[in-house]
Amino acid sequence: MSTLEIKGLTVSVETEDGPKEILRGVDLTVNSGETHAIMGPNGSGKSTLAYSIAGHPKYTVTGGTVTLDGEDVLAMSVDERARAGLFLAMQYPVEVPGVTVSNFLRTAKTAIDGEAPKLRTWVKEVKEAMGNLRMDPAFAERNVNEGFSGGEKKRHEILQMELLKPKVAILDETDSGLDVDALKIVSEGVNRAKGSSDLGVLLITHYTRILRYIKPDFVHVFVDGRIVEEGGPELADRLEDEGYDRFTSSATV
Amino acid sequence: MSVADTMTADPLARPHTDSVAAFVPDQSRAERTASFDVSAFPVPTGREEEWRFTPVKKLSALFAEGASDGLAWTDSLPAGVTVSPISASDARALGILPPQDRAAVVAAASAAAVLVDIPAEAELAEPVRVVLTGSGDTASHGHVVVRAGRHSKATLVLEHTGLAQHSELVSVVTGDGSDLTVVSTQRWSDGSVHLAQHDALVGRDATYKHVGVTLGGEVVRLNANVRYAGPGGNATLLGVYFADAGQHLEHRSYIDHNAPHCTSRATYKGALQGATARTVWVGDVLIRAEAEGTDTYELNRNLILTDGARADSVPNLEIETGEIEGAGHASATGRFDDLQLFYLQARGIPEDEAKRLVVRGFFADIIREIPLADLRDEITAAIEEELASTAYASANPAANPAANPTAPNADGQTVTKEN
């Protein structure tokens, strides 16, 4: 049982006009086995929340706390956060030329576990995980994210999540840019990970479409750097019908 | 790619005028002096076009004439390959290219030449190995002549190690239809100085590949030059270099397309680390009027790992005929990509290891070009060793145990494993 606890988190970024506050007091608790959907309009700060938890150097935490099972996440370096059990599936995964997927996966697994995985079982595990995500075996010998289509990049992110087995995974707009088939494959991967490891999921999305395949336990509406409404899955249905207008107009008053 | 500001210059739109800073340059690369006569080359001052990047003050011992000892020579020769002395006149009779700068002409004049002879039609499964070891900082000179017989297929490895002040001319002549790869590794001790000119006269329909791997030494300048003895030749010049603080690593390539229907590729990649790390790449390609059907491309990439390092990169392309298949050049020098680092670290990989992974990946496409799997592994291991000995300035070894209490990390060092 793990708990990611975010309390009063405020975050700013450096702009040409000085620091700009993006997150304005976020409170959120994600327990093992729970799926939380964070939904909000463009520019509301959803991705900033994801990157801040992962420790991206561009964002400065100006207040609040983030803990994983009581440990201070904000005091950890980016790699320490990952080794502590956090995973961020990125909206825009980065190309790493000359580094093959198989080498990358093995290096990451070794870092996370503190020892190299047993070769035979590892190869089998990777092969099976790739098969589940309908990834061609040749994929393993391609360079990380180089020349990948949008769908391949997202499946590669989910592949890493399934293999690295984090405690809490943050999926940053993993659904954006995917066609329905790819969306189903990616969603299956998330559900598989949840089924096998009691994973806590923080699902950041602009659209309700992915929630047809990954059932959230909680839905949070994120506007202007904070959570403005919370509820169960029914809130997603309401957003589907009404959009974000109700929240954005009140936010500007 | 980690480099943000890729610059691909169009030679027709942008003539290279940057070299006029101190001197009126030669109108064409072809006019540069090439001769076996020492007096044809004055001692460089550092203001000459071909020396302006090089710390010539550290090189005076290698510009001076006079007999000297060579380096200790150890070889390992596959059956059929011979090593023997060769007179200067016999060497020249083979058609070797003349020296193109002061250091090379002094090396040719001072050293007793040695011929490495690969017989015609020989197909060697093992490389020809020559280990050259320096044992002090007095000047030494060497002249290695390599003859690859017609239709032979071979790999020659020249390993440079130890402490030395060495000037070297390597003169390769390849026979028609031959396939020769020369791998030259520079893994000198600190304080070493090495000036080298590695030439090849590439036979008709022959394939020639030269790979420079420069990791150690205070000043290393390796010039790789190619001319063609007939049509259909194919030349590939490759280089990887890793400069730490205090190192000046310079690579120059000159491909003289003097025959029709020949191809060439030059690809050099360097990584720099440390405030005073310095690298230079100058790539000259000349396509003469008679070289119709030429296909050439040259590329240089530099990865700057820490602030203050400096990489100079000068691609020069001269084209005297329009009847060519293709000609291009590209150069890009970029800082380490923070996004790549974040991505790898977000997967649990410590900063040090993430940087090594990126550098390794950066060199991968050149390493892949080295023939013979064992040799490839050996060169990879040499680069690994260089990377392992490199402590990144911003690394944070102390923070590890708290995040991962199970890691066997008692000495407080960042633990990284490669398997």
What's the confidence (pLDDT) of residue B410?
32
In B, minimum Cα distance to A98 occurs at: B361
> Could you report the per-residue pLDDT of A54-73, keeping only the tens digit for each?
999 999 999 999 999 999 99
Q: How many angstroms separate the CA atoms of B296 and B393, rounded?
A: 39
What's the confidence (pLDDT) of residue B371?
87
Please say whether the dihedral angle defined by the alpha carbons of residues A80, A85, A91 and A93, taken in this order, is positive or negative.
Answer: positive
Region of poorest pLDDT, from A109-113, A146-150, B10-14: B10-14
Cross-strand bridge partners of residue B133: B72, B161
Q: How many angstroms separate the CA atoms of B289 and A169, rounded?
A: 63
Give the mean model confidence (pLDDT) for residues A5-22.
95
Query: Is the confidence at residue B124, as pLDDT, over 90?
Result: yes
Q: In this predicted complex, what is the ipTM?
A: 0.95
B141 φ, ψ (degrees, to nearest 5): -135, 150
Give the mean model confidence (pLDDT) for residues B295-304.
97
Question: Model confidence at B392, in pLDDT bands (50, 70, 90)?
Answer: low
Cross-strand bridge partners of residue A6: A28, A66
Q: How many angstroms separate the CA atoms of B308 and B299, rounded?
A: 23
Q: How many angstroms separate the CA atoms of B124 and B155, rounded?
A: 7
Cα dihedral B364→B368→B373→B379 (10° resolution): -50
Query: Is the confidence at residue B413, as pLDDT, over 50?
Result: no
- Would the CB atoms of A107 and B353 count as touching at under 8 Å? yes
3-state secondary structure of B164: strand
Cross-strand bridge partners of residue A172: A204
- Would the CB atoms of B360 and A57 count as touching at under 8 Å? no
Q: Which residue has the tokens 């410590």?
A: B350
Region of poorest pLDDT, from A53-57, A144-148, A238-242, B407-411: B407-411
Query: Is the confidence at residue B201, as pLDDT, over 80?
Result: yes
DSSP letters spanning B247-301:
-EEEEEEEEEE-STT-EEEEEEEEEE-STT-EEEEEEEEEE-TT-TT-EEEEEEE
Q: Give yes or no for a contact between A144 and A96, defined as CB atoms under 8 angstroms apart.
A: yes
Calculate how close chain B gets to A39, using CA atoms only, in Å. 23
Q: Give yes or no for a contact between A194 and A12, defined as CB atoms under 8 angstroms apart.
A: no
Q: For residue B208, give the nearest of B123, B282, B265 by alpha carbon.
A: B265
A148-163 in b/e form (b: 16+ CB < 10 A) is: beebbbbbbbbbbbbb
Mutate which: A67, A107, A165, vs B, most B CBs within 10 A = A107
What's the confidence (pLDDT) of residue A53?
97
Instruction: Residue B2: list chain A partners with CB under 8 A.
Output: 97
- Would the CB atoms of B345 and A88 count as touching at under 8 Å? no
Query: Is the confidence at residue B67, as pLDDT, over 80?
Result: no
Cα→Cα distances A69→A1, A168, B401, Å: 9, 11, 17
Instruction: Residue A55: list chain B partners with CB under 8 A.
Output: 345-346
Cα→Cα distances B153→A34, B122, B123, B124, Å: 64, 6, 5, 6
Q: How many cross-chain Cβ pairs, A to B, lie less than 8 Å apart? A: 107
Q: How many angstroms separate the CA atoms of A160 and A125, rounded?
A: 12
Domains of chain A: 3-252 (3.40.50.300)
What's the confidence (pLDDT) of residue A242?
86
What is the rounded average pLDDT for all residues in chain B? Answer: 87
Give the mean model confidence (pLDDT) for residues A169-174.
96
Region of poorest pLDDT, from A107-111, B16-20, B134-138: B16-20
> Could you report the per-residue pLDDT of A189-199, keeping only the tens digit for each?
999 999 998 99
Alpha helix positions (H), A23-88: 46-54, 78-84
DSSP letters spanning A211-232:
GGTS--SEEEEEETTEEEEEES
Give the mean model confidence (pLDDT) for residues A22-42.
96
Name residue B115's amino acid: L
Residues of chain B that touch chain A, judged by Cβ-Cβ distance less than 8 Å: 1-2, 337-340, 342-351, 353-354, 357-358, 360-365, 396, 399-400, 402-404, 406-408, 417, 419
Cα dihedral B332→B335→B340→B345 (10° resolution): 160
Instruction: Residue A78: list chain B partners with CB under 8 A.
Output: 342, 345-346
Residue A168: in which H helix or E strand, if any? strand A168-172
Q: What is the percent of chain B with per-residue pLDDT over 90, rounded to a whole number?
A: 75
Question: Model confidence at B65, in pLDDT bands (50, 70, 90)?
Answer: confident
- Would the CB atoms of A82 and B347 count as touching at under 8 Å? yes
Instruction: Residue A116: list chain B partners with CB under 8 A.
Output: 417, 419
**Residue in B346, B357, B406 closest to A99 by CB:** B357
Query: Is the confidence at residue B22, as pLDDT, over 80?
Result: no
Query: Is the confidence at residue B137, as pLDDT, over 90?
Result: no
Residues of chain A that touch chain B, judged by Cβ-Cβ distance less than 8 Å: 54-57, 76-84, 87-88, 90, 93-99, 103-104, 106-108, 110-112, 114, 116, 143, 160, 164
What's the confidence (pLDDT) of residue A177?
86
Query: Is the confidence at residue B200, as pLDDT, over 80?
Result: yes
- Would the CB atoms of B362 and A97 count as touching at under 8 Å? yes
Q: For residue B215, give the nearest of B180, B241, B251 by alpha carbon.
A: B241
Calculate how close chain B gets to A166, using CA atoms only, in Å. 10
Calculate how close chain B gets to A114, using CA atoms only, in Å. 5
Mutate which: B6, B303, B349, vs A, most A CBs within 10 A = B349
Residues 6+ apart with CB under 8 A from A147: none
Give the mean model confidence (pLDDT) for residues B103-128.
96
> Could you report the per-residue pLDDT of B338-374, keeping only the tens digit for each?
899 999 999 999 998 998 899 999 999 999 999 888 8
